[in-house]
């Protein structure tokens, strides 16, 4: 079982990567009873992007890189599964990646105890997978899919975390000549980016998946309440808007509440389909995020991928997009009464500009076209080549495709990204 990740660090640690590969971690039984199984996976990749005004990262919580880098797409993961008894086991996963923070908590992707009273039911407690994507169990395990990385338009955009500290339940059964699983999780989580800490309270995720020999259908719904702390810009701006008299700016209190320092509700809905019958592999996901937050717009996102197997080689093409909605909150300063001084008007205009910059800093609007090739050398080893062309309508300072050199946002740019990588499972 390979699960998804919240990306801990890989900081110029090529010696460590080499040691891990040389040790050749393999899945094995340490003792007969109770049984402990260890697994590992790795992606060692070189990337190059060609636009000095833009940078690329795999997610909101990994470092932004430009030019040539071995850190952007590289990741190593370790998994341990201890079967205590027939119905009780413990699972944990640790990832090492180019994360923004090198802390123990961020290294631990999942760690839960699972009780399975029957073949159909499982109850989980701990840090569990929220299961909000079709590839939630294998998001960073590059060997399990065609591409260089899981499509960032879907897999890097949700403001709701991929792992929840709380409780979960899973039910599996046969249905319509296939297998169906239902998953639910409830709890809370915290994430950090460059400027702030994001806390998600009352996070609830529900998902369903049906699969047979050729088809997989998936859908998920997630909601939660987001609170942002630790950001001086957001805190000071929210306080400034909250103190503006209503007679000067009737919309000021609403703007203050949507800066995210108080609870902001968010909901995420996604649906996916995969068709896998030799020689074709077709996969697609579409998502919709609904959020009333200046820091992140509501948006639609999706991708369509087509692969064609020929012996050990599978060429593929991908089309993807992310399309944010227009900012619904009016940030313009209203016409002021005659008694308001020019100095006060200037301060109000400055606040308006700050709020607009905050809104644009996380606005990601682009279309991507990709071509690539996967070459399966062995059953546990694959080499991948991928070329991505991004047509960037708008990029903020936060997100997978983001501005460099301290710019808040940028418009109408192109970005070309090359990837050559080695995927391994042990």
- Structural domain includes residue 391: yes
Alpha carbon 162 to chain centroid distance?
A: 7
pLDDT value at 407 more than 80 = no
For residue 144, count CB atoms less than 10 angstroms from its CB and return exposed for 0-12, middle for 13-18, buried for 19 or more. middle
Chain length of the chain: 426
Q: Tokens standing for 129?
A: 């997978």
Give the whole-angstrom CA distance, residue 38 versus residue 23.
Answer: 13
Assess contact for 402 and 64: CB atoms under 8 A: yes
Q: pLDDT band at residue 253, thresholds of 50, 70 and 90?
A: confident
Q: Distance of CA 10 to CAs 73, 74, 83, 99, 149, Å?
A: 10, 8, 30, 7, 16
d(CA 167, CA 203): 11
Contacts of 153 (CB under 8 A, 6+ apart): 301, 302, 303, 320, 321, 322, 368
Residue 315 within any structural domain of the chain = yes
- pLDDT at 125 (0 to 100): 97
CATH of the domain at 136: 2.40.160.10
Max intra-chain CA distance, the chain: 84
Is the residue at 6 inside a domain? no
74 within some domain: yes
Is the pLDDT at 42 greater than 70, yes or no? yes
Has residue 198 been placed in a domain? Answer: yes
Q: Express each pLDDT in 158-184 by its tens digit.
A: 555 778 999 999 999 998 889 999 999
> For position 159, what pLDDT does the model report?
52
Per-residue pLDDT at 373 exceeds 60: yes
- Mean pLDDT is highest, among 1-5, 104-108, 207-211, 343-347, for 207-211
Average pLDDT over residues 326-344: 84
- Within a domain: residue 1? no
- 4 assigned to some structural domain: no
* Residue of 154, 156, 235 lying closest to 195 (CA atoms): 235
Over residues 391-411, mean pLDDT? 82
Print the domain residue range for 257: 14-425
How far apart are the C-alpha atoms of 28 and 26, rounded to whole Å?
A: 6
pLDDT reading at 17 higher than 90:
no
- At residue 71, the pLDDT reads 93
- pTM, entire model: 0.85
User: Of 325, 212, 326, 204, nearest to 269 (Cα)?
Assistant: 204
pLDDT in tens, 256-268: 887 766 677 888 9
Q: Does position 218 have pLDDT exceeding 80, yes or no?
A: yes
- What average pLDDT does this structure show over 358-369? 87
Determine phi and psi for 56, rounding to 5 degrees.
-130, 140
Mean pLDDT of the chain: 85
Q: How far is CA 281 from the centre of its chain?
A: 23
C-alpha closest to that of 49 among 406, 354, 401: 401
**Which residue carries 């992140």 as its tokens?**
296
Domains: count for the chain:
1
**Span 74-103, pLDDT tens digits:** 999 999 999 999 999 999 999 999 887 777
DSSP string, 302-367: EEEEEEE-BTTEEEEEEEEEEEEPPP-S--SPPPPPTTS-HHHHHHHHHHHHHHHHHHHHT--EEE
pLDDT of residue 158: 59
Proportion of the chain in helix, strand, coil states, percent, rounded to 5? 15, 50, 35
What's the average model confidence in pLDDT over 241-269? 83
Candidates 328, 339, 333; CA nearest to 244 is 333
pLDDT for 16 equals: 34
What pLDDT is stored for residue 59 in this prediction? 79
Q: Where are the alpha helices (DSSP H) in 46-122?
A: 104-107
Q: What pLDDT does residue 84 have?
A: 93
CB count in 10 Å sphere of residue 409 = 19
- State the burial class of residue 356 (Cβ atoms within 10 Å of its Cβ: 0-12, 13-18, 19+): middle
**For 57, what's the count of Cα atoms within 13 Å in the CB-facing half-sphere?**
27
In a domain, 8, yes or no: no
- What is the DSSP secondary-structure string of 215-229? EEEEEEEEEEEEEEE
């Amino acid at each position: 079982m390979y699960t998804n990740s919240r990306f801990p660090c890989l900081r110029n640690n090529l010696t460590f990567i080499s040691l891990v590969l040389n040790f050749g971690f393999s899945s094995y039984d340490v003792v007969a009873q109770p049984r402990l199984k260890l697994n590992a996976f790795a992606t060692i990749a070189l990337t190059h992007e060609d636009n000095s005004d833009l940078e690329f990262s795999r997610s909101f919580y990994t470092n932004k890189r430009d030019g040539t880098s071995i850190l952007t797409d590289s990741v190593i993961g370790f998994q341990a599964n201890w079967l205590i008894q027939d119905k009780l086991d413990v699972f944990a996963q640790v990832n090492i990646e180019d994360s923004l923070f090198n802390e123990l908590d961020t290294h631990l992707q999942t760690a839960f105890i699972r009780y399975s009273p029957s073949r159909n039911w499982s109850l989980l407690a701990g840090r569990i997978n929220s299961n909000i994507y079709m590839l939630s169990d294998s998001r960073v395990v590059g060997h399990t899919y065609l591409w260089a990385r899981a499509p960032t338009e879907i897999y890097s955009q949700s403001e709701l975390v991929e792992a929840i500290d709380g409780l979960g339940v899973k039910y599996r059964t046969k249905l319509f000549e296939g297998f169906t699983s239902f998953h639910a999780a409830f709890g809370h989580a915290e994430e950090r980016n460059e400027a702030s800490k994001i806390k998600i309270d009352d996070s609830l995720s529900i998902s369903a998946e049906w699969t047979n020999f050729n088809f997989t259908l998936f859908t998920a719904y997630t909601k939660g309440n987001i609170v942002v702390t630790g950001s001086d810009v957001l805190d000071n701006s929210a306080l400034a808007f909250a103190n503006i008299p209503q007679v000067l700016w009737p919309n000021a209190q609403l703007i203050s509440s949507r800066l995210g320092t108080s609870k902001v509700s968010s909901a995420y809905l996604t649906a996916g389909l995969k068709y896998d019958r030799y020689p074709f592999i077709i996969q697609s996901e579409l998502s919709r995020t609904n959020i009333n937050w200046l820091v992140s717009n509501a948006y639609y996102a999706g991708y369509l991928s087509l692969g064609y197997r020929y012996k050990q080689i599978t060429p593929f093409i991908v089309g993807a997009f992310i399309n944010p909605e227009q900012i619904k909150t009016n940030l313009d300063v209203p016409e002021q009464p005659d008694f308001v001084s020019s100095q006060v008007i200037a301060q109000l205009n400055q606040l308006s500009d700050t709020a607009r910059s905050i809104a644009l800093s996380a606005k990601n609007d682009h279309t991507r076209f990709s071509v690539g090739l996967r070459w399966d050398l062995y059953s546990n080893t694959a080499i991948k080549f991928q070329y991505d062309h991004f047509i960037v309508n708008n990029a903020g300072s936060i997100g997978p495709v983001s501005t460099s050199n301290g710019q808040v946002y940028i418009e109408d740019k192109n970005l070309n990204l090359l990837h050559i990588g080695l995927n391994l499972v042990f």
